[in-house]
Amino acid sequence: MTDVPLALTMGDPAGIGPEITAGAWRALRDGPVRFAVLGDAALIARHDVPVREIGTIAQAAETFAHAVPVLPVDLAAPVRPGQPDSGNAHAITTSIARAVELSRNGQATGVVTCPISKIVLKKAGFPYPGHTEYLAALCNVPGREVMMLACPELRVVPITIHVSLRRALDELDAAAIITATRTTHAALQRDFGIMTPRIAIAGLNPHAGEDGSMGTEEQTIIAPAIAALRADGMDITGPWPPDTMFTPAARARYDVAMCMYHDQALIPLKTIDMTQGVNTTLGLPIIRTSPDHGTAFDIAGRGLADPSSLVAALRMAMQMAEHRNRS
């Protein structure tokens, strides 16, 4: 394992970020995965863990076994758990931007992000649909980002992401499928050590259109994309009927499922394993993961938050770094 720590962003300070950060430190403090938090030390200390402010991320290595290392990010408004304040939007985005900078210049192994609220940021003028798009902009690769959700039993990639279902249908085309699949294929090789990825392409319509009787997108959009990807030499199957491709027997036949829209991908992943689910952004020059859940304002500050997904995200980021360093 590398001695270079991960950079963990604070997320929305009124959410469960501080609590799951404390829980993740408890779970990882005796192991090889280390991180430094870009956030507010006092918020994390509320959750009965020792906290130490540091001046540089390099100090995290010597601090981590004894306390949560924190690179301070100033908050503009008082924090009340469960009551988000857009006055802290700048601090939230600053935490992300600084984490990306640390990762891009090699001072951090990668970026792990605690959950943000898109609504809170949007009220403050945040122009991006979500974390994924903001990270791509910070890395100067807008449009190349691909969101993959992973748990021990399943990996999924939605082709269209944070748009309405009606708009997703308008945006779906062969080029989008081809681009996302090529990015995913390369990432599975470089960051996950899968040299010959098996990729399943989902259909869009019930029963994958059933030869056009329930929709023609499989014939006009998805099949041409599959043909182009197979011409690249990839192991591609599909289009699979979406209602049967997530059974245990079906999942054993592929390494990742390319899905046509957000919920087609996220519903099976979260149903199979919400606690170990991890969101990772492919197509960036840096490693980025996050827990596969939101800010959970309804339970913030009540001692109920489960840090398992954040722990899994931190471990996955370090594992990705190991694979990337070997390639």
207 in a known ligand binding site: yes
Q: 288 labelled as ligand-binding?
A: yes
224-263 burial code (b ≥16 CB/10 A, e <16): ebbebbeeeebebebbbbbeebbeeeebeebbbbbbbbbe
Query: Phi first, then psi: what are they for 258, rounded to 5°?
Result: -90, 120
- Angle ∠(222,226,230) on CA atoms, nearest 5: 175
| 185 is annotated as contributing to ligand binding | no
**Residue environment code for 21-50, b if the CB has 16+ CB neighbours within 10 A, otherwise e:** bbbbbebbbeeebbbbbbbbbebbbebebe
Residue 325 is labelled as binding a ligand: no
47 is in an annotated binding site: no
Residue 131, annotated as binding a ligand: yes
132 is in an annotated binding site: yes
d(CA 216, CA 222): 9
What gap in Å lies between CA 248 and CA 267, rounded to an integer? 15
What does the DSSP assignment read for 220-266?
Answer: IIIHHHHHHHHHTT-EEEEEEPTTTTTSHHHHTT-SEEEESSHHHHH
- Residue 262 labelled as part of a binding site: yes
Task: Please report, in range form, the residues annotated as the binding site for substrate.
Answer: 131-132, 270, 279, 288
Residues placed in the known binding site = 131-132, 162, 207, 262, 270, 279, 288
Residue numbers belonging to the annotated binding site for a divalent metal cation: 162, 207, 262
